[in-house]
Structure 1
Amino acid sequence: MAILSIVIAIILILELTLDLSYQIRLVFQIIDFIVWSIFVIDYFTRLYKSKNKKKFFKKNLIDLISIIPLYSIFKVFRALDILKVGRVTRVSEITRVIRLLAIIKRTNNELSEFMKTNNFNYTIGIAIIIVLISATVMSSVENMSLGAALWWSIVTFTTVGYGDVYPISTLGKLTASILMIMGIGFIGSVTSTLSTYFIKKEVRKRKAEMIKKNSKLIKKSLGKSKIIYTDNVIYSKENYKNELIKDIVKRLSKFDDLSKEEINTMCKVLLSLK
């Protein structure tokens, strides 16, 4: 969902800042509709599964705002002559900004978590610096405009390499060589970070499910039996409590790596021990 949100955010930014052709706008609208449909299905599926609907609405208000088709609603108003053309244009831009802010807010937590994986935020920072320095060098030694040099640097760094522009000077060739090598390393870093991020996310999900399972087991076992049998091990009630508390303390030592769901689950487990 985070990746889809980023795609929509980029599309909205391009629509707000550039004068796009009809064909490109049509493609963007199709992509937007497909992603919007996925968001709607995801939202109402989670709403249906949630036990506390009121709490779900409060917690996922941003998600709700991001799926409301405000632009389509105002187009209907225009068709009914409720709003004038100029107002529809202004309102449509405002609704796009609102939706963009909602989507950015929606992805903020996941994007922040992703950027921290493998210290990827530092990798991005270094990559931007390398591209900018290379563009500056190419602009100076190859008599290129800064815009064209920046475009060439990005294309070369991402290993696309159209070949329509290439350096002639020795310094330009050296810069291109360094940029290509660094670009290959960057692509490898992106792949590695994506793999690590999704693996960690799956591991956290399984751990959270295990904690929930143990929490339910505690509620059933405490007060009814002197022993608890779990994970093929027999514990006394007191020992089992101690083991769970130790496990939670151990997890809390890596607090920054914990998701909100894991923290909420731990709170529920601790409350069940009382």
Structure 2
Amino acid sequence: MHNKLTYIIYQVIIAILAIISIVMLLAYYAKEIDIDAYPYNLIDNGIWLVFVVDYFTSLVLADDKKAFFKHHIFDLLSIIPANSLFFFFRIAQIGETFRMLKLFRLLRLIGFTGRLASFFKRNELVYYLYISIAVIMVTAAMFCISEKVSYQTALWWAITTATTIAYGDVIPKTEIGRGAAIILMLLGIGFIGMLTGTITEFFAKKDEAAMSKQLDRLEAENHQLHADLDEIKQLLVAHTKQDNRDNDK
């Protein structure tokens, strides 16, 4: 149980880091941030290091390394060292350096997105729940600090925004607060939508399983009924034959 909980927490952390990377790369392409400047470069390099360790540790522990490499292409794309390659190309005076850097970062964006999609494809309801809570709490903290309101108020704002209710009684006025709102709208609402969809699917499958079980039981009873009728028929035939023999005597 402890190992399973540790694994869940680890997977959720990896997913959150992937989400942060996706948001940063999208902001970079939108020219909202300079990912090579402080503090974004530290965040980007830190996340990159985590994914590098994760990838190569999993590769070393894999029984079939060829199959691991084949089925984890997105993981490999997510660890492309864009900053290091950019430095190498610049030192080597290779033309189109900045365009190549954007290409490498685009590949990383594809890698993170694919890895995140794979994560949700192979995991269950609990991950949607944990990440939804994490996104709400993180954006609430950002809102709390930037807007100088209590965390309770910020949490109220985050929950109402994520659930698309948005009463409008609390609104962001600072750039960071608006950034938190954008993250919450893009990620939080999506995850909560997936969460509710997964819950609906769970109960639908549960009802389907219950109905299937009931049909199997009815089918078994039907077979048993046919068997009993055949047995009764055989007994009647045998009894009739016996009566006929007795009458002949």
Q: What's the TM-score once normalised by structure 1's chain length?
A: 0.43
Q: Which of the pair has more CA radius of gyration?
A: 2
